[in-house]
Protein backbone atom coordinates (compact mmCIF):
# COMPACT_ATOMS: atom_id res chain seq x y z
CA UNK A 1 0.00 0.00 0.00
CA UNK A 2 0.98 3.64 -0.38
CA UNK A 3 3.05 5.10 2.41
CA UNK A 4 3.70 8.71 3.34
CA UNK A 5 5.01 10.72 0.42
CA UNK A 6 6.80 14.04 0.44
CA UNK A 7 7.71 16.47 -2.30
CA UNK A 8 10.04 17.74 -3.41
CA UNK A 9 12.69 15.30 -2.22
CA UNK A 10 15.38 17.95 -2.59
CA UNK A 11 15.10 21.71 -2.57
CA UNK A 12 17.80 24.32 -2.94
CA UNK A 13 16.77 27.83 -2.02
CA UNK A 14 18.66 31.09 -1.96
CA UNK A 15 18.66 32.88 1.34
CA UNK A 16 15.55 35.00 1.60
CA UNK A 17 13.37 32.87 -0.67
CA UNK A 18 10.12 31.28 0.45
CA UNK A 19 9.68 27.50 0.18
CA UNK A 20 6.74 25.13 0.47
CA UNK A 21 7.13 21.47 1.38
CA UNK A 22 4.30 19.02 0.81
CA UNK A 23 3.28 15.90 2.70
CA UNK A 24 0.73 13.29 1.64
CA UNK A 25 -0.10 11.08 4.63
CA UNK A 26 -1.37 7.53 4.60
CA UNK A 27 -5.05 7.50 3.75
CA UNK A 28 -7.20 7.44 6.86
CA UNK A 29 -4.50 8.64 9.24
CA UNK A 30 -5.94 11.48 11.26
CA UNK A 31 -2.69 12.64 12.84
CA UNK A 32 0.15 14.29 10.97
CA UNK A 33 3.48 15.44 12.33
CA UNK A 34 6.36 17.53 10.99
CA UNK A 35 9.90 17.05 12.27
CA UNK A 36 13.16 18.80 11.44
CA UNK A 37 16.36 16.75 11.28
CA UNK A 38 19.62 18.67 11.23
CA UNK A 39 22.73 16.95 9.94
CA UNK A 40 23.95 14.32 12.38
CA UNK A 41 21.05 14.83 14.77
CA UNK A 42 17.82 13.11 15.66
CA UNK A 43 14.52 14.47 14.36
CA UNK A 44 12.98 17.30 16.39
CA UNK A 45 9.28 18.00 16.58
CA UNK A 46 7.92 21.03 14.78
CA UNK A 47 4.13 20.79 14.71
CA UNK A 48 1.22 18.37 14.85
CA UNK A 49 -2.26 18.16 13.32
CA UNK A 50 -5.26 16.08 14.18
CA UNK A 51 -7.44 16.21 11.07
CA UNK A 52 -7.36 19.88 10.05
CA UNK A 53 -6.73 21.22 13.54
CA UNK A 54 -3.20 22.25 14.43
CA UNK A 55 -3.01 21.07 18.02
CA UNK A 56 0.60 21.87 18.79
CA UNK A 57 3.03 24.19 17.06
CA UNK A 58 5.40 24.65 19.95
CA UNK A 59 8.35 23.29 17.99
CA UNK A 60 8.25 25.80 15.16
CA UNK A 61 11.54 27.70 15.52
CA UNK A 62 10.27 31.10 14.41
CA UNK A 63 7.30 32.90 12.95
CA UNK A 64 8.82 32.33 9.52
CA UNK A 65 7.57 28.75 9.75
CA UNK A 66 3.94 28.04 9.01
CA UNK A 67 2.07 24.77 8.49
CA UNK A 68 -1.42 23.99 7.31
CA UNK A 69 -3.67 21.02 6.62
CA UNK A 70 -6.87 22.63 5.38
CA UNK A 71 -8.85 19.52 4.48
CA UNK A 72 -7.38 17.15 7.02
CA UNK A 73 -5.29 15.26 4.50
CA UNK A 74 -2.38 16.85 2.61
CA UNK A 75 -0.21 19.21 4.64
CA UNK A 76 2.16 21.96 3.60
CA UNK A 77 5.04 23.34 5.62
CA UNK A 78 5.99 26.82 4.48
CA UNK A 79 9.17 28.62 5.38
CA UNK A 80 9.36 32.31 4.61
CA UNK A 81 12.57 34.26 4.03
CA UNK A 82 14.74 31.16 4.39
CA UNK A 83 17.98 31.38 6.36
CA UNK A 84 21.02 29.13 6.26
CA UNK A 85 20.12 27.66 9.64
CA UNK A 86 16.92 26.31 8.05
CA UNK A 87 18.99 23.80 6.06
CA UNK A 88 17.87 20.38 7.24
CA UNK A 89 15.79 17.37 6.31
CA UNK A 90 12.10 17.94 6.96
CA UNK A 91 10.27 14.73 7.83
CA UNK A 92 6.55 14.18 7.79
CA UNK A 93 4.85 11.35 9.65
CA UNK A 94 1.26 10.19 9.94
CA UNK A 95 -0.45 8.06 12.52
CA UNK A 96 -3.71 6.63 13.71
CA UNK A 97 -2.53 8.10 17.03
CA UNK A 98 -4.25 6.16 19.70
CA UNK A 99 -7.01 4.75 17.56
CA UNK A 100 -7.17 0.98 18.01
CA UNK A 101 -4.28 1.28 20.44
CA UNK A 102 -1.84 2.36 17.77
CA UNK A 103 0.80 4.96 18.53
CA UNK A 104 3.12 4.16 15.69
CA UNK A 105 4.15 6.97 13.37
CA UNK A 106 4.89 6.22 9.73
CA UNK A 107 7.51 8.45 8.15
CA UNK A 108 7.95 9.78 4.67
CA UNK A 109 11.35 9.94 2.92
CA UNK A 110 11.84 13.58 3.85
CA UNK A 111 12.65 16.77 1.97
CA UNK A 112 16.27 17.86 2.12
CA UNK A 113 16.36 21.66 2.14
CA UNK A 114 19.61 23.43 1.41
CA UNK A 115 19.71 27.20 1.80
CA UNK A 116 22.61 28.87 -0.01
Residues that bind another protein (CB under 8 A): 4, 33, 35, 40-45, 48, 56, 59, 91, 93, 97-98, 101, 103-110, 112
- Antiparallel, parallel or unpaired: β 44-50 and 31-37: antiparallel
Residue 28: CB minimum distance to another protein, A: 18
- Give 1 or 40: the residue with its C-beta nearer to another protein: 40
- Asked if 46 contacts 59 with a C-beta cutoff of 8 angstroms, the reply is yes
Q: Using the minimum distance from each CB to another protein, give the nearer residue, 66 or 107.
A: 107
User: What distance in Å separates the CA atoms of residue 46 and residue 48, rounded to the nearest whole number?
Assistant: 7
| Of 82, 64, 63, residue with least CA distance to 12 | 82
Helix (H, G, I), strand (E, B) or coil at 48: strand
Nearest distance from residue 102's CB to another protein, in Å?
9
Smallest gap from Cβ 44 to another protein, in A, equals 7
Between residues 102 and 116, which has the closer beta carbon with respect to another protein? 102
Amino acid sequence: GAGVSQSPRYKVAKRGQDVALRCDPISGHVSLFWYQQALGQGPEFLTYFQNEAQLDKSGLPSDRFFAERPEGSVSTLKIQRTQQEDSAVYLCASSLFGQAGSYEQYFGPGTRLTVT
